[in-house]
Amino acid sequence: MGENNYAKELDVAVRVVHMACSLCQRVQEGLVSSTSNDHVMSKDDDSLVTVADWSVQATVSWMLSESLSNQKVSIVAEEDVQTLSKSDSVGLLTAVVNTVNECLAEAPKYGLQSPKKALGTSQILEAISQCNSTGGRKGRHWVLDPVDGTLGFVRGDQYAVALALIEEGKIVIGVLGCPNYPRKKEWLSHHHSSQTKPKMSDSSETWEKGCVMYAQRGSGEAWMQPLIHGNKKHTWSNSAQRVQVSSIDDPALATFCEPVERANTNHSFSAGVAHSMGFKKQPLRVHSMVKYAAIARGDAEIFMKFAQSGYKEKIWDHAAGVIIVEEAGGVVTDAGGHPLDFSRGLYLEGLDRGIVACSGTILHEKLIGAVYASWDSSNL
């Protein structure tokens, strides 16, 4: 498979994810200004997240179809258009239509083309409903998670926009937009440790944050671009920096990431594994696929997620992150050490207990060993 087979797709995907990040930030500003950091999600926030979700999905769907008009664009995405078409969501739909048009109007800033005139409701519903692919091992499928890390989004914390391209069951491109990812890794864990974190309203200069990471299968490289702030037109060529995994291979020096939410992961089993690995550092609890970004960028060495029984991992929660970590030099497998299989439809079927991502093979081998040792002594 030639290196440049996907040059056009990657270029479009990166630009579209930049647009989606900008859209999310705009919606999130409406959210954060009216809330305090420690509050629990209310119905109102819920609808803002929904607006962000649908709007990103419509924007990405429309832009991919327009920009890659010579291809049949098939998209697997989380949101299903049925809920938006119901009569009680008229207000939501209006908000989505406005948000999408505002975002599409800015396409030229990202080197893409805006529609000739604003899209109507039916065109936007159409764009969303085109995201109805179920993936699989044949053909090309774009895989989108419009807002990964809902709780992080609501709290003004970490969340991601994730877009990947799967061809014949293999991930070939991954793009991960992390609008609140700090340039300094110390800020990554601010919600759980330091309380001196700058407020979201501070100017972006004082607390530089936000990036889009991307990689192409087989290139052996992963890249990061800063988000565009304000009205600057993006200078694409010189803004990308290469990212690489950390070279730490001693567990005592390694940082491990785990999910914040308890619902879909087994924290106590992770703690057991961490103990037998001999980790000395506090775990970094990070929302969403930003955990993959942390490993690709060298800010953490290990991420593990052991689902509660019955929970099935979805491909859009992992695809973009996995390829970026791998091309940055890391290793991602299930807990038995097998590669993840993205060719089986919407879910990662046949997953052995959970998912582990590491910055390198030495830590990965130790981790798989620790999983087996801990597994025998627990009864998950």
List residues with catalytic annotation. Answer: 53, 150
11 carries a ligand binding annotation: no
Residues 6+ apart with CB under 8 A from 380: 266, 269, 306, 309, 353
| Of 153, 156, 161, nearest in space to 293 by CA | 161
| Of 13, 97, 88, 102, nearest in space to 43 by CA | 88
145 carries a ligand binding annotation: yes
341 carries a ligand binding annotation: no
Q: What residue numbers does the annotated binding site for Mg(2+) cover?
A: 78, 145, 148, 317
Q: What residue numbers does the annotated binding site cover?
A: 78, 145, 148, 317
